[in-house]
Amino acid sequence: MPDSPPAYDVAVSRLGTVPDDTPAAPLVRRPEVLERTRVALTEGPPLLLTDVDSTLIGDEVIELLAAHAGKEPEVRAVTEAAMRGELDFAQSLHARVAVLEGLPVTVVEAVRAAVRVTPGAQELVDAVTAAGGVVGVVSGGFVEVVGPLAETMRIHHAVANTLEVSDGRLTGRVTGEVVDRAVKARVLRELAERHGIPMERTIAVGDGANDLDMLEAAGLGVAFAAKPALADRADVCLPGPRLDDLIELLGLPRA
């Protein structure tokens, strides 16, 4: 009898070919890359860096904020175009944030309370941490939401944009460097260097075009419930809805 296939080799066709009532299996586009990562993880702990909006959480924070200004539909359309890679991310971010001008800063707290953590996200964070690894989040969203979320989830590093505030109201601008696709890839390399983790033990997870450089820089690039612009170029595609499906693929024990 031939040997059983490896546990991570769980799909041979494209996503979306299973019945709607059947959970879709992960799609391993590059089995050799996954196998190399699994071997590397037997030699030392990993670095996991993940996007936040529509990845670590099930929401787009900018859309939740825009809802307070009555602009959610317009902002959602721009967000979706940016994540498909049809718009420059920095330009789209500035356009979306502009609609927030004049909102009281208290809306940020309301949005922070409303975000929904993706099923299995905490389990994935805990498994990587229990393996001695480092977990970071890097987001084109906002540190005012991402920072407290990371603290609650016991995530080691959080990088995101900063909303400008004046006299207790949002100005419709962000301050400092925009966290775009190039910055996300740079953060991955910087964290790996800071913690002495070789790139072959780095895993990046995201859902949109803004995550592409980060996934391509990582030892393993994972697309989660992703837009085609990212899914078509990732090493592994997780269809969702759970992030902890990645634990077994990596060969890590659950915490």
Catalytic residues: 51, 53
Residue 42 near residue 207 (C-beta atoms within 8 A): no
DSSP string across 50-99? E-TBTTTBSS-HHHHHHHTTT-HHHHHHHHHHHHTTSS-HHHHHHHHHHT
Characterize the bridge pairing of strands 236-238 and 202-206.
unpaired
DSSP helix/strand/coil, 244: coil
Residues 192, 225 contacting (CB under 8 angstroms): no
The Cα 155–Cα 81 span in angstroms is 29
Give the whole-angstrom CA distance, residue 230 versus residue 225: 10
Residue 169: its H or E element: strand 169-175
Cα maximum dimension of the chain: 73
Measure the CA–CA gap between 174 and 65, rounded to whole angstroms. Answer: 14
